[in-house]
Structure 1
Amino acid sequence: MKRFLNTLLILSFLGLPACAKASNDLVLSIDGQETIITKAIYQEIEELVNVNDEKDYDLPLEYLFYQYDGRVVDEIDILQGESLTTFQWKEIADSAFWRDVSKLEINGEEYMVDSINIRPDGFDEPVEHSIMDIAPLTAEALGISFGEKESGFSVPSGSVEHVVWFFLDGFGYEQFQAAEKDGLIPNLSTIGEFHTAYTVYPPKTSTATAALLSGLDSRQNGVWATGIRNLTVPGIIDAVVDSGMKVLIVEGSSTPFNYPAAEVTLSGDRDGDGSTDDNVFRNAQTAIAEGIPSLFLVHFHGIDNVGHTYGPFSQEWESKVSEVDAMVEQLIEQLPEKTLVVIFPDHGMHSVVEDSELGNHGNLILDDMGIYIILFQK
């Protein structure tokens, strides 16, 4: 049966319109939608991603997939002549590189391919939201202008004086579901409206923050890769400040992105306990007591940090998740009335077995790309 199905798949590839594909082009098929990838397309994506021309850069194959809306990948089939090879994407994502239009490297082995077929993965139900909806939502809640995109959320007009973002670094959808099942997040799992969503590729803090602030995808806001810390398009912070309002951000020991128009409080690990979350919590409490501005961002880094070191779902990770849940609960209790609370992660995380870490993120898999947005109004 497997050989029969493979034969059918090969025949479907061979049945592609020959006139549309040059000999060195690549056919990319995502959920039945076919695209001819040319040398010019390869060069365009490579130039966008490789922001440092002096560096020898490995171009992950995922950039090609994401460019054509491959958000979450389950399996890929590569066709070389009449030879078909299938890969589980989660097993090869970190070692799959795009070397030229039809030249791939997977697990150190080179492949000259005619076609790639992608079988997508993702949420069971259609997903309407992404991290890019948070900026327009904030603008709508505060009654200010920001771009042309609508958030898709319903916010009562005139009922919000403050918007508070709780940024839970690395605590994605899959991690949230596991924590809820184990009873680790009694506050987060019961508060407000829960909306499934996607982050952007690559699912890293800097790229996700750029999408968060700009309301635009990494393909539109210019931040395609880590190492870029400035927006080249308008951001929600500028829109809030230009409207005569203020923005305060409480961060850990450093900022993942530049916030030139906002007031930033760096918390650091003042007590030397290996985490900035307790100091972020105290600084946030102080800010609330003194009166928060129109937009207030509180960024907890601990779940991501512990996940990298000990792995997601480890005992240490579970303890940190419970701690952050309790901190968010206390901060929400102290917030003033007419506050819209927005709780979200930048990305998720998957387990790895490496010398330096047991958790990582950055791939087109649901563990990394699946997030959520929780809305609660006081």
Structure 2
Amino acid sequence: MNKVIMIVLDGLRRDTARTQMGYVNHLVESSKASYYKVQSELPSLSRPLYEVLLTGTPSSVNGITANHIVRLSDRKSIFHLAGEKGLKTTAAAYYWVSELYNRAPFDRIADREQHDGNMPIQHGKFYFEDSYPDSHLFADAEVLRRQWDPDFLLIHPMGIDDAGHRFGSDSREYRAKALEADSILATLLPGWMQLGYTILITSDHGMNRDGYHGGTGPDERDVPLYVIGTSFEPGIYEETIPQLAVAPLVCNLLSLPLAEGMLRYAFPGVRL
């Protein structure tokens, strides 16, 4: 069984990932990682797409249809499935993830840090300001990893998305945040790779030049997926992958049964 780290760089366009993230793309060029094209589900909004990435179900099925829908998910997520099999789960993420899988509504004091083996996310550090620094969020995640040695760790920074909303995706600020994320990953990935983790790096949605997302355009829907691990044949895969396939892929990596409604999809280059 693999131990999996899933990184969701909120608001990262696919083309920005390819042009700005030099270290991650170096891993692809040097045959140490795989690159896939992913098309996000609709609506291309954050809370609905967290549910897509973590339950493998679309909004029309799970009912998380907009960002203002504040309630626990009624679907089995990767966290639920892992816990049922005795695996350890952790997350360093935006508070909407806590509201989907642990408690809703979010209490800024009681829910900022959570440690409860009976919860779907057993150990979590959650932030509630979009401007929370990515450097701090990745440090939160690494603390969780070292303390709890999880089988599944979700890391979800918001810096790229925040810059996109403030300045638009065709801005130096947006590109700078992608570069910053790549620099942080260049510091952490080598150690995680040496320890044998399977690592997925993707996004929930992209961003248009006006600083918005939620629509149907490629700027808002086209996101990257980089994967590092022995279960993948390194390379660049041109086939467009449905975002609904990501959650069942993680389940397969963790040797978990797929939940009802999850898509069975044959990823190219996967050796499972």
Report whether the alignment pairs 1:348 with 2:206. Answer: yes
CA distance in 2, matches of 1:294, 1:241: 10
2:77 maps to 1:235: yes
Rg comparison, structure with higher value: 1
Q: Summarize deviations over 1:333-353 as a string: whole Å, max 9, x none.
A: 23252311011000000012x
After superposition, the CA RMSD in angstroms is: 2.0
Structure with the higher fraction of residues in strand conformation: 1
Q: TM-score, normalised by structure 2?
A: 0.69
> Could you tell me which residue of structure 2 aligns to residue 264 of structure 1?
124
* Structure 2 CA distance for aligned equivalents of residues 291 and 225 of structure 1: 33
Aligned to 1:371: 223
Does the residue aligned with 1:255 lie in a helix, a strand or coil?
A: helix
Q: Work out whether residues 240 and 246 of structure 1, in 8 Å CA contact, stay in contact via their aligned partners in 2.
A: yes
Tell me, in whole angstroms, the C-alpha distance in 2 between the residues paired with 1:327 and 1:267: 18
Deviation at 1:313, TM superposition (A): 2.8
Secondary structure (helix, strand or coil) at the match of 1:368 reads: helix
24, 31, 42: which one aligns with 1:188: 24
Number of aligned positions between the proteins:
204
Output the amino acid matched with 1:233.
R
CA distance in 2, matches of 1:242, 1:348: 33
Helix, strand or coil at the partner of 1:375: strand
Post-superposition offset of 1:291: 4.7
Q: 1:196: how far off?
A: 0.6
Deviations 1:205-229 (CA, angstroms, capped at 9, x unpaired): 1010111111112222222222224
CA shift, 1:332, in A, is: 1.4
| 2:153 is the counterpart of 1:311 | no
Work out the CA distance in 1 between the residues paired with 2:157 and 2:202: 11
Q: In the aligned structure 1, how far is the partner of 2:89 from the partner of 2:200?
A: 15
Instruction: Say if 1:268 and 1:276, in contact at 8 Å, map to a contact too.
Output: no
1:175-214 equivalences under 5 Å are 175-177=16-18, 180=19, 184-191=20-27, 192-214=33-55
Contact 1:284-1:331 within 8 A present in 2 as well: no
Q: Which residue of 1 aligns with 2:63?
A: 222
Q: Is the 8 A contact 1:172 1:346 kept in 2?
A: no
Gaps of 5+ in 1: 1-157, 353-358
Large movers: runs of 4+ above 6 Å:
none
Q: Which has the higher contact order (CA 8 A, sep 6+)?
A: 2
Aligned to 1:19: none
Question: Can you list the C-alpha shifts for 1:237-265, whole angstroms capped at 9, x where unaligned?
Answer: 1000010111110124x334422210221
Please say if 1:173 is aligned against 2:33: no
Aligned to 2:146: 289
Q: 1:340 to 1:240 in 2, by over 3 A?
A: same
Distance between the aligned counterparts of 1:199 and 1:207, measured in 2?
10
Counterpart of 1:326 in structure 2 is 183
8 Å CA contact 1:351, 1:360 repeated in 2: yes
Give distance in 2, aligned partners of 1:315 and 1:344: 21
The residue that corresponds to 1:276 in the other structure is 133
Identity, % of aligned pairs?
22
- Summarize the Cα distance change of 1:206–1:169 in structure 2 as closer, same or farther, 3 Å threshold: same
TM superposition shift of 1:315? 1.5
CA distance in 1, matches of 2:11, 2:212: 9
Q: Which moved more, 1:361-370 or 1:335-344?
A: 335-344
